[in-house]
Amino acid sequence: MSLTLAPFAALRRNRIPPLTAVGVAIVVLLIGVALLGPLLTPHDPYQFSIRMDESPSADHWLGTDDQGHDVLSRLIAGTRLSLMFGAGAALIALGIGAALSLVALSFGRIAETGVFSFFDLIRALPGILFALAFVAAFEPGATSVMLALGVSFSPMFAMITRATWRQQMARPYVAAAQVLGASRIRVTVVHVLPNIIGALVTQFAIILPRCIVLESVMSFLGLGVSPETPTWGRMIANATQNTEAAPHAVLAPILALSVATFGMALVGDAMRRGFDPDRRRIAV
């Protein structure tokens, strides 16, 4: 059976653990809110108002912030933006890590040593420190943050790509292809790559919530999006300056961020167990 289908076959054979079901429900809810955001917001998330720091009420279910923005509307809009930034950073990491790894592994030992020395250099720095240094070297903003997070997380995709590639290269079907005259590059692209996509998708699911959290940290530090952009991190940064008058304005995005990362982590862990035969028997 292809490794790409392994987790789904495991789900068919076994009952979905309760926590995994909770994680899937959270992720589905997040995707739904992100897609339907403009239809769900009761107010314009960018609209200023003189009704500042109001407690939750019938007009503003989660209250307003220090500039009169409706907190619920900004929270809903922030769901789409935070998911977009997180997914963008994770896709950049996937593209850099997997692509460079496969190219290096296809061209032999010298290329592999050079490329993975680059990844080892990135791994030597904590992700947040590397991202801070990267953004500081360029102009702060959403693009810089996504690139910084993408580069900082790329070694994780590189390592999983190399490990899975080596496992697949030891399989009989690879030996058969080589006997028939297939080159190392052709074997990697045609035969090995389809069987490591599943592992990369799993790694993406694990990295995505980390990217969302770090984007929030970068925005909180003032290195991410502009102050008026309603990402969860920017909402937290803006609201912490006025927690006594409007604690709801900071609690709402913190709770949303916590629930989102928890749900994504559960889904990522379930997918990882699906690829690991030793863990498939462990129910969460």
Ranges of H-type helices in the chain: 6-13, 18-40, 71-107, 109-123, 127-137, 142-169, 172-179, 184-186, 193-220, 232-239, 247-275
Look at residue 224 and give its three-state secondary structure: coil
CATH homologous superfamily, domain 75-275: MetI-like (1.10.3720.10)
Residue 281 pLDDT: 44
Residue 131 pLDDT: 83
CA-closest candidate to residue 200, choices 281, 112, 272, 103: 272
Which residues, given as ranges, of the chain have pLDDT below 50? 277-284
Residue 279 pLDDT: 47
Residue 35 pLDDT: 92
**How far is the C-alpha of 135 from the C-alpha of 209, rounded, in Å?**
20
- The rounded mean pLDDT for the chain is 84
Residue 177 pLDDT: 82
